[in-house]
Amino acid sequence: MHRLSQLKLVLAASSLATAAAVAGAQAQTDVHRDAATRNVGGDAFMTQYSRAFYCNLPDDNNAIVVAARAWNNTTGANNNQYRIPLTQIFDDVWFVGNHYVGQYMIKTPDGFVQVDSGNNANEFKTFNYPALQSLGMSASYPLKAIFLTHGHGDHDGGAQWALDNLGTRSSIGSADATGKSYNPIQIDSTNLAMRQMTIGGKTFWILPTPGHTPGSTSAVLEVKDWGQTKRVLINGGQSMTNSIPQVAQYLDSIERTYTMATALNVDGVMTPHIYWDGEGVKLDEINAKGRTNPSQNIYGHESVMRQLAVARECSAAWLTRLDSTAVLPVWRFNTIEFVDGGPTPTKVAARVSNGWGPVNGQMVTFSVEETGANCTATTGADGVASCDVRPLRPHKDYLKAKFAGGQNASYVDLPAETSALVCSNGNCNAH
C-alpha cells in the first residue's frame, strides 16, 4: 500500500473516532440531563427550581441565571420588589437580602454569626446593620463572626465594613483569601475532609467544595425550628464555569456534599442564592402567611437528598458536554417503602424503586434496633423484597428497611432506608 493511502486510512479512522466520541459525548450529556429529571421524582417545585437552575448550562438555558442577576437590588431603591425584608426562618435564624442573593443571621447565646456579607459596604450598612440591631445586637451582644461561602463580591462585599465598624472578622476558604483586605480567618481549602469548626462560638460542619471558586466552602448547621433541632445545608457556590478541571472539581464537591448531607441527616437548606432551589418563593410565603411548622426551609431529608442527586446529574451533564472523553456513571436516587402501608408480624416487605422503575435483584435488610431481630432478602422484578423478622412486636417495634445501594459501570444506585412502627396483623392500612 502507498504511504499516502495509509495516511488517508489513518486520517479517515481518526475522524471517525472523533465523530464517534462527539456522538458519545452528546449521548452522555443527554443521559445525565435525563437522569437529573428522573431523580426529581415528579416534584413540580423541584422541576421548576433545582432541576432548571442546576441544569441551566447543559439545558442551554443560562438565560434564567442571567435574568436572576437583575434581581440583585442592593439599595432598596426603584424596584423594591426584589428586596426581601428581615425574615425569620427558624427560631434562631433570620434572612435578609434580595431575590438574587442574601445573608443569614444566626442568634447564639452570646452574639450573632452571619453567613455571607452582602454585595458591598453600603448594602451591609443599609440592611444588615439595622437588621442586627433590631434583633438585639449591642456592644455586649455583638456580631461575633461572618462565615463567607466564597470570595465573590456578592458574598464578601460587606466584610470590610463589618470589620471596620463592628470589629467582626470573616472566615473564608484559604484558596479564596488571597488579596482580601479584610484580613479573613482562613479555612484550609486543601483539606477536603468534613470537619467541625467553631465560628463565632457556633459549631459548623465545614466541607471545602471547590469548583465554583477554589475556596468555596459548604457547611451544615444545627438550628432550632419550633424548639426542634434541625440540620440545614449551606451551599458554598452554585454556578459552574466552562473549565473542565473546575467542573470536575464541582462534580466531586457535590458528591462529597451528598455524603455529608446523608451522614448528618440534613433536612433543610439555607442557600445564599435563594433562586436556585426556590427558597425565594418560600421566603415570600413566610412574609405573606407566616412560618409553617416545620419551617418552609425544612424540605425533608428525602427532598434535600433528591435535590443534591439532581445537582450531581446536572453537573455530570455539563462535564460530559465540555469533555467529550468523560464517561460518568449515572447516579440514581432510590426510595424504599413498606408495602401495604406498613410492616406487620406476618408481612415484612418493602419495595425499592427509582425514576427508572422497580430495582430488581438488590439486597434489602430489615432490622429492629432494640431487639437485634433482622433478616435480608433480594428484590424481585417488582422491586419488592420480603422475609421474616422474629420476634416482631406490633405497636412496639420500629422496623427499619435498608437498601445499601449498588453500582456497576453505568450507574450508582444511591442507598435508601425507611422505618415504621410495626402494625397489628391485617390493620396497617387503617393507620
Nearer to Zn ion, 209 or 354 (CB): 209
Q: Kindly list the distances between the CA atom of residue 425 and the CA atoms of 269, 392, 430, in Å, as whole numbers in the listed order.
A: 39, 11, 11
* Shortest CB 237 distance to Zn ion, Å: 5
CB of 63 to Zn ion, least distance (A): 18
* Identity of the residue, 152 or 306, whose beta carbon is nearer to Zn ion in the bound complex: 152
DSSP sequence for 285-307: HHHHH---SS-TTB--HHHHHHH
Q: Which is nearer to Zn ion, 38 or 152 (CB)?
A: 152
Nearer to Zn ion, 176 or 397 (CB): 176
Whichever of 92 and 277 has its CB closer to Zn ion, that residue is 277
Nearest residue (CB) to Zn ion, 157 versus 343: 157
- Cβ neighbours of 184 (radius 10 Å): 22
Residue 35 CB, shortest distance to Zn ion, in Å, is 26
List the one residue out of 371, 364, 383, 384 whose CA is nearest residue 345.
371
Q: Under a CB-based contact definition with an 8 Å cutoff, are residues 50 and 314 in contact?
A: no
Closest to Zn ion by CB, 152 or 231: 152
Q: At what angle do helices 244-263 and 301-322 cross, to 10 degrees?
A: 160
**Residues near Zn ion, by CB under 5 A:** 152
Report, in Å, the least distance between residue 69 CB and Zn ion: 11
Output the smallest distance, CB 58 to Zn ion, in A.
Answer: 19
Cα gap 225→93, rounded to integer Å: 9
Spell 27-52 as b/e; 16+ CB within 10 A means b: ebbebbbebbbbbbbebeebeebbbb
Q: How far apart are CA 202 and CA 196, in angstroms?
A: 10
Cβ closest to Zn ion, residue 175 vs residue 349: 175
CB of 9 to Zn ion, least distance (A): 49
**What's the min distance (Å) between Cβ of 120 and Zn ion?**
15
The burial of 81, by beta-carbon neighbours within 10 Å (0-12 exposed, 13-18 middle, 19 or more buried), is given as exposed
How far is it, in rounded angstroms, from Cα 378 to Cα 351?
A: 10
What residues contact 92, with CB distance under 8 A and at least 6 apart?
Answer: 106, 107, 108, 223, 224
Residue in the structure block whose three cell numbers are 475532609? 193
Q: Give whichever of 33 and 152 is closer to Zn ion, judged by the CB atom.
A: 152
Dihedral of the alpha carbons of 286, 110, 200, 155, in degrees to the nearest 10:
30
**Separation between Cα atoms, residue 200 and residue 428, nearest integer Å:** 49
How distant is the alpha carbon of residue 249 from its chain centre? Answer: 16
The smaller minimum CB distance to Zn ion, of residues 152 and 202, is found at 152
Q: How far is the CB of 247 from Zn ion (least distance, A)?
A: 15
| Closest separation in Å from C-beta 154 to Zn ion | 6
Number of helices followed by number of strands (H, E) in the chain: 11, 23
Give the Cα separation of 241 and 256 in Å (integer): 19
Cβ neighbours around 1 below 10 Å, total: 7
Closest CA to 105 of 18, 221, 279: 221
In terms of CB distance, is 212 or 321 closer to Zn ion?
A: 212
Could you identify the residue written with the cell 420476634? 391
Closest-by-Cβ residue to Zn ion is: 152
Provide the minimum distance between the beta carbon of 376 and Zn ion in the complex, in angstroms, as a whole number: 46
CB of 320 to Zn ion, least distance (A): 23
